[in-house]
Chains A and B, each alone.
Chain A
Amino acid sequence: MKNWGYLVAAYSIIWVAIFIYIFTLHGRQRQLRRELDSLKEKSKGS
């Protein structure tokens, strides 16, 4: 059972990095939705 630490470290880094990337994309998507809503509001007002 030697070297389990290395395996756990590699495995954790991969998934943390991939999830951070996915959450960043999700955040960007929410921001775009807000921008689109504000544009819709503006177009109704004008």
Chain B
Amino acid sequence: MQTLKQNARIMNGLLGLTFVAMIAAQFLIFVYVPTERTMGVVQRIFYFHVPLAWNAFLAFAVVFVCSILYLRSRDMKWDRLARSSAEIGLLFTSLVLITGTIWDKPAWGTWWTWDPRLTATLILWFIYLAYLLVRAYATEESQGARYAAVIGIIGFLDVPIVALAIVLWRTQHPSPLVFEGGLTGSMLLTLIVCIIAFTLLYLSLLILRNSLRQDTDEIKKLKQYMDERN
């Protein structure tokens, strides 16, 4: 009971922190940061697009680590965590692709181009869609967890390909401005706050999704036990 209360307190604290960070991020994006000279107001999409991409990578890294831990221990808690993280990672990757195409139209004059970075991101989206479909439709629970873990490990190989696509190939996608010092002080501050806010959002969603999965599994077990008893 004490642990439950402590967990609820931690969760409430995290949600409060996420809310405050998100409000601060919106203020910085729409009030504080100056409009970029070349691209104009549409450049502000960058402050959502990059944190979403960063957190999608983080989510898939969690899937990768949890998949390895599941295959080693066969403990379902790792499978639950990997599955929850994959779901949020897929949501964030969908938003990265959508915000990316909305940026492409005014910047490149087209909604979509088969650019290496874009193509690798689309492949990443399909990999984790496959992960969730395999996990959801497997006939046996343990078999689904095992197959999904293998996809979670192999699929993660696409993450460095997406990240390095702009360095490895000639691409239309903007170069890594953060590492090249292409951002002014206010732009960098806004980006950092946005990354923190979206990371807190990812963590909050992950904890919520994982605890829901845990409750679902426990209720399933309880139902089985009661059916066997009756």
Q: A residues touching B (Cβ–Cβ < 8 Å)? A: 1-4, 6-7, 9-11, 13-14, 17-18, 21-22, 25, 28-29, 32, 35-36, 39, 42-43, 46
What secondary structure prevails in chain A residues at the interface with B?
A: helix
Q: B residues touching A (Cβ–Cβ < 8 Å)? A: 40-42, 44-45, 48-49, 52, 91, 94-95, 98-99, 102-103, 105-106, 201, 205, 208-209, 212, 215-216, 219, 222-223, 226, 229-230
Q: Which 5 A-B pairs have the closest CB atoms?
A: A3-B42, A10-B102, A10-B99, A10-B45, A3-B106
Known: A39-B223, A39-B226. A6 touches B103 (CB 8 A): yes
Contacts of B52 in A (CB 8 A): 14
Contacts of A46 in B (CB 8 A): 226, 229-230
Residue in chain B with minimal CB distance to A39: B222
**Least distance between A37 CB and chain B CB atoms (Å):** 11
**Complexed CA–CA distance, A43 and B48 (Å):** 49
